[in-house]
């Protein structure tokens, strides 16, 4: 069974640009969540999607958005990039059935904002 797949692996952008990151969950998983990892703030929850709807949201500005498609694949978008957005963005998937809660992470997209 393939794991969680994230693309691209690395991205370099400049301030003011926007970026889209992609995540393909484990087959059968319907919940996809996104996390930001930085040395200073650690791992922080961004948002979670289930059945194409955002179900939960963390404390991030509206510049961070996402969506989920009918095949459970998800994309995350960051607009008007700031230097502080440089981070490893991790996607995690789970069944989302309220019974089996295990979340499995992808390898992440390392975003550098110059």
Partner 1 sequence: GENVEQHPSTLSVQEGDSAVIKCTYSDSASNYFPWYKQELGKRPQLIIDIRSNVGEKKDQRIAVTLNKTAKHFSLHITETQPEDSAVYFCAAMRTGRRALTFGSGTRLQVQP
Q: Which residues bind partner 1 (CB under 8 A)?
A: 4, 31, 33, 35, 42-45, 48, 50, 55-56, 58-59, 90, 92, 94, 96, 98, 101-108
Q: Residue 52: left (phi > 0), alpha (psi -120 to 50), or beta?
A: left
- Beta carbon of residue 101, minimum distance to partner 1 (angstroms, whole number): 5
Cβ distance to partner 1 smaller for residue 75 or 105: 105
Q: Is 72 exposed, middle or buried (0-12, 13-18, 19+ CB in 10 A)?
A: buried
Cβ distance to partner 1 smaller for residue 69 or 104: 104
Cβ distance to partner 1 smaller for residue 34 or 81: 34
- Which of 55, 58, 61 lies closest to 79 in space, CA to CA? 61
Cβ distance to partner 1 smaller for residue 13 or 30: 30
- Beta carbon of residue 17, minimum distance to partner 1 (angstroms, whole number): 25
Residue the block writes with tokens 């969506």 = 67
DSSP 96: -
SS3 assignment, position 85: helix
């Amino acid at each position: 069974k393939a794991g969680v797949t994230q693309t691209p692996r690395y991205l370099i952008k400049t301030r003011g640009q926007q970026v889209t990151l992609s995540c393909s969950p484990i087959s059968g998983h319907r919940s996809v969540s996104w996390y930001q990892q930085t040395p200073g703030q650690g791992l922080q929850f961004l948002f979670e999607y289930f059945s194409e709807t955002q179900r939960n949201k963390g404390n991030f500005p509206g510049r961070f958005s996402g969506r989920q498609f009918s095949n459970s694949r998800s994309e995350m978008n960051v607009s008007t990039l700031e230097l502080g957005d440089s981070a490893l963005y991790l996607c995690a998937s789970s069944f989302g059935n309220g019974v089996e809660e295990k979340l499995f992470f992808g390898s992440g997209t390392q975003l550098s904002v110059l």
